[in-house]
């Protein structure tokens, strides 16, 4: 079957990320909802998004979403906290009603907020995230709406995302983890739960867990988002009935570098056939 024929079939679930981290979300979604067609788009050409302006993040995210729609996605998950924090609401409120009223775009921050409270005993939760996500204060704002008794504090994850993208050596990674987590805990020593508020960080979850105080919960977003998407589709039959029930996944990137293909295969956990698309914007 030609690539054209594959992509003409409708009813796909699109996963958009600025790079590699969304693969951790995709893997968890596919475990919970296996019999679907998935399109994964990593905008590796423009990674990282975390140090870009809000407007730049919006333009890049919008372009990624529209590309996925053009290839048959009925629903797109922004598997990137920076995009969810800086572009999701505008896409949902301004772009979808005008151009794609039948399609949906969901983020990963609200599902995380809705579920994270069960993990904390002290009521103090820390978040490691990119500069743009921390600046948006979205975790704090949304948690205040959900449960004002929980204290949430976001901390920039330093160079962790770029270290992960560049496959940096373990010693540098661990040093950076210890630096950012000790910085966070110095601001609030009562934190007992750490949210990995950048999907890249799920790729080093074990290293983070072994670097933080014993007994601290380190929570990735993949399973939470997967369960929430399954519940969303159960409630929204108008979307669910449009989805193909053939199990497949197609991977796309905006970067032509061989390093990108190698890293995506490493983080997905198996060899993947990666197709390169023209730059989005």
pLDDT tens, residue by residue, 70-81: 999 999 999 999
Name the active-site residue from 73, 198, 219, 243: 198
Give which of 57, 127, 6, 35 is closest to 281, Cα–Cα. Answer: 57
Q: How many helices (H) and strands (E) are present in the chain, helices listed first?
A: 15, 10
pLDDT at 281: 67
Total count of residues recorded for the chain? 281
pLDDT at 265: 84
**Cα separation of the two ends of the chain:** 29
Q: Strand 274-276 vs strand 248-253: parallel, antiparallel, or unpaired? A: parallel
Residues ≥6 apart with Cβ < 8 Å to 121: 192
17 catalytic per annotation? no
CB distance 183 to 115 below 8 Å: no
pLDDT at 278: 79
What does the domain layout of the chain look like in residue ranges? 3-107+223-276, 110-221
pLDDT tens, residue by residue, 92-144: 999 999 999 999 999 999 999 999 999 999 999 999 999 999 999 999 999 99
CATH architecture of 110-221: 3-Layer(aba) Sandwich (3.40)
Q: How confident is the model at residue 228 (pLDDT cuts 50, 70, 90)?
A: very high
Mean confidence (pLDDT) of the chain: 92
CA–chain centroid gap for 56, Å, is 17
74 catalytic per annotation? no
Name the active-site residue from 15, 45, 60, 80: 80
pLDDT at 147: 96
pLDDT at 279: 67
Q: What is the CATH number of domain 3-107+223-276?
A: 3.40.50.1860
Average pLDDT over every residue of 190-214? 95
Residues ≥6 apart with Cβ < 8 Å to 75: 13, 14, 103, 104, 105, 106, 239, 243
pLDDT at 232: 97
Residues ≥6 apart with Cβ < 8 Å to 48: 18, 19, 82, 130, 161, 162, 165
Give which of 37, 41, 47 is closest to 11, Cα–Cα. Answer: 37
Q: Is the pLDDT of residue 48 over 90?
A: no
Fold matches, 3-107+223-276 and 110-221: yes
Task: Name the pTM for this structure.
Answer: 0.91
């Amino acid at each position: 079957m030609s690539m054209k024929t594959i992509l003409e079939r409708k009813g796909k679930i699109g996963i958009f990320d600025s790079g590699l981290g969304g693969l951790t979300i995709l893997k968890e979604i596919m475990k919970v909802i296996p019999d679907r067609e998935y399109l994964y788009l990593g905008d590796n050409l423009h990674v990282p998004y975390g140090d870009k302006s809000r407007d730049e993040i919006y333009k890049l995210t919008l372009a990624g979403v529209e590309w996925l729609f053009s290839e048959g996605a009925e629903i797109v998950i922004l598997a990137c906290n920076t995009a969810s924090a800086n572009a999701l609401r505008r896409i949902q409120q301004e772009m979808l009603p005008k151009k794609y009223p039948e399609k949906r775009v969901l983020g990963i921050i609200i599902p995380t907020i809705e579920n994270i409270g069960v993990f904390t005993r002290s009521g103090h939760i820390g978040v490691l995230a990119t500069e743009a996500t921390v600046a948006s204060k979205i975790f704090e704002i949304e948690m205040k709406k959900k449960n004002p008794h929980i204290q949430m504090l976001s901390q920039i994850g330093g160079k962790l995302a770029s270290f992960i993208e560049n496959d940096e050596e373990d010693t540098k990674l661990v040093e950076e983890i210890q630096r950012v987590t000790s910085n966070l805990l110095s601001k609030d020593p009562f934190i007992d739960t750490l949210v990995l508020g950048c999907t890249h960080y799920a790729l080093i979850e074990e290293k983070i867990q072994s670097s933080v105080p014993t007994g601290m919960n380190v929570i990735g977003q993949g399973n939470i988002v997967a369960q929430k998407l399954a519940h969303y589709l159960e409630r929204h039959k108008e979307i669910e009935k449009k989805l193909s029930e053939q199990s497949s996944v197609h991977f796309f990137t905006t970067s032509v570098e061989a390093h990108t293909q190698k890293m995506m295969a490493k983080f997905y956990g198996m060899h993947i056939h990666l197709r390169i698309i023209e730059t989005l914007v």
